[in-house]
Every structure is written in structure tokens, then in C-alpha cells.
Structure 1
Amino acid sequence: MRRYPKGYGGERRDPEQVKRDGWREQGVLVIAEDDQRLTWPERELVKQLGSKLYGKRSGKDVCHG
């Protein structure tokens, strides 16, 4: 049986689990601007924060569904 260093080989973590772990362990929050779990005002706040911190987005046709 072959052993791989942590993070190499084996099973991949679900992207939502990676986001959850990032928040809980590092205080890093990853949010898609079109996340349907958020209300409209919450999505607008995410867009405003992203624009303030990183500038306007050039491609508005990105779907994260």
C-alpha cells in the first residue's frame, strides 16, 4: 500500500467543506456573489465589499451555481 503526504492523493474534500474549514480555522470567508442561500441585501453587501476591497469586476457573466 502506497502512502502519500497529507494533501496529496486520497480523497478530495468537498469545496463547501474547504470553505467551512477556512472560516473556522483561519477566519477566511469565501462567498460567491450569487449564492442563493443569501438574501438579496446580503448578496448586494457581498458585491459592495468585493468591489471596495478588490475593485470592480470585469466579467459579470460568471455563474457559481
Structure 2
Amino acid sequence: MRRAVRFAAALAVVLALLALGGAAIVLGEADDSPGLQGIGVLVVIAAAVGALRWRGVD
């Protein structure tokens, strides 16, 4: 049960970071802000790397 809760929490964090990064990319493009787009890309990459490295091992 504890492992399922940890997995759900990690999944929620990764999905939230992906949504935040995607929103930053879209809003940065609408406002013509290359810095915000770059931050959005970095957030998406960090979320993807974190998800791939996370194994859920106790």
C-alpha cells in the first residue's frame, strides 16, 4: 500500500511539472519571451529525467 501511495505522489509531481513546463513554453511563445520558453523546456526535461530515473525502490 505504501508503495502505491509513493508511486501516485511521484506521478502527480511529474505530471504537474510537465503541465507547468508546457504552459511556460506556450505562454512564452505568445508573449515572445525566449527566456520563459527556455525555462519551460528545462522544466519538461527535468521532469522527464526525474521520471525515468525514479524506480520506486524502498
Q: TM-score range by the shorter chain?
A: 0.3 to 0.5
- Which protein has greater RCO, CA pairs closer than 8 Å, 6+ apart? 2
Larger Cα-atom Rg: 1
User: Is the helix fraction higher in 1 or 2?
Assistant: 2
* TM-score, normalising length: structure 2: 0.34
